[in-house]
Amino acid sequence: MDTRPSIAGRGPCHERYAHGVTELERFPAAARPIPPRRRRDRRGRGIRGALLPPDVPAYATRGDRFDDFVLDAVEHLDHRWSAELSDVEFAVEDVPPVAVTDEEIPLARFQPATGKGRSSTPRRIVVYRRPIEARAVDSEDLAELVLDAIIHEVAEMMGVDPAVIDPEGHGWGEEE
């Protein structure tokens, strides 16, 4: 055990050696901060942080890209139907809240407005991400399916044929 006296509360690096020199004076490199090392996790694997900066397109998650497709589809319809869609909320959920049955899993759902006054909820179209992603082959197909699902629900909300909502040919393709 070291019995040398130390300066109160300063620790061993401020101790004076026999010739009156402190450890920091003897070893100036000890005073420099140690640069942070890239550490590995306990199993020896590499870093666990983000590898890409947030402004790179590859940084976006599948959910973020899906949200962008929904916004693009709503903007596509908003040019023609802005008055009818002004009080409609669009939302994205991962999966529909349904029990497993023999029925087809919905891609989107229209929820009419409920209640009056402060407790009311606006009209809402919910698009389900996972069922649409499961049916899509690539990102173009995903964008097309999102647009088709939203057109179908807007047509149901307005009580018209999907061809009326988007005469460009989306939303009323052949059902599988």
Which CATH number do you get for residue 138? 3.30.2010.20
Q: Would you say residue 16 lies in a domain?
A: no
Torsion from C-alpha of 132, 158, 71, 108, nearest 10 degrees: -20
Contact 61, 51 (CB under 8 A): no
Which one is predicted more confidently, 21 or 96?
96
16 pLDDT higher than 80 = no
Q: Would you say residue 175 lies in a domain?
A: no
Q: Which residues of 112-123 are buried (b: 16+ CB within 10 A; e: fewer)?
A: eeeeeeeeeeee
Least confident of 6-15, 69-78, 154-163: 6-15
Contacts of 85 (CB under 8 A, 6+ apart): 74, 77, 78, 154
17 pLDDT higher than 90 = no
How many domains are contained in the chain?
1
Highest mean pLDDT among 12-26, 35-49, 76-90, 115-129: 76-90
Q: Would you say residue 64 lies in a domain?
A: yes
pLDDT at position 19 is: 60
Please give the Cα distance from 120 to 47 (Å, whole number).
48
Least confident of 83-87, 159-163, 166-170: 166-170
Kindly state the average pLDDT of the residues 53-70: 80
pLDDT at position 79 is: 86
Contact 122, 158 (CB under 8 A): no
Q: What angle do CA 132, 60, 126 make, to 5 degrees?
A: 35
Q: Would you say residue 101 lies in a domain?
A: yes
pLDDT at position 176 is: 40
Mean model confidence pLDDT for the chain:
77
93 pLDDT higher than 50 = yes
The predicted-structure confidence for 100-133, as pLDDT tens digits, reads as follows 566 788 899 999 888 777 777 888 999 999 999 9
Structure tokens, 35: 């640069």
Q: Would you say residue 39 lies in a domain?
A: no
Nearest to 165 by CA among 75, 81, 73: 81
The domain of 69 spans 57-165
Q: Would you say residue 76 lies in a domain?
A: yes
Q: Would you say residue 4 lies in a domain?
A: no
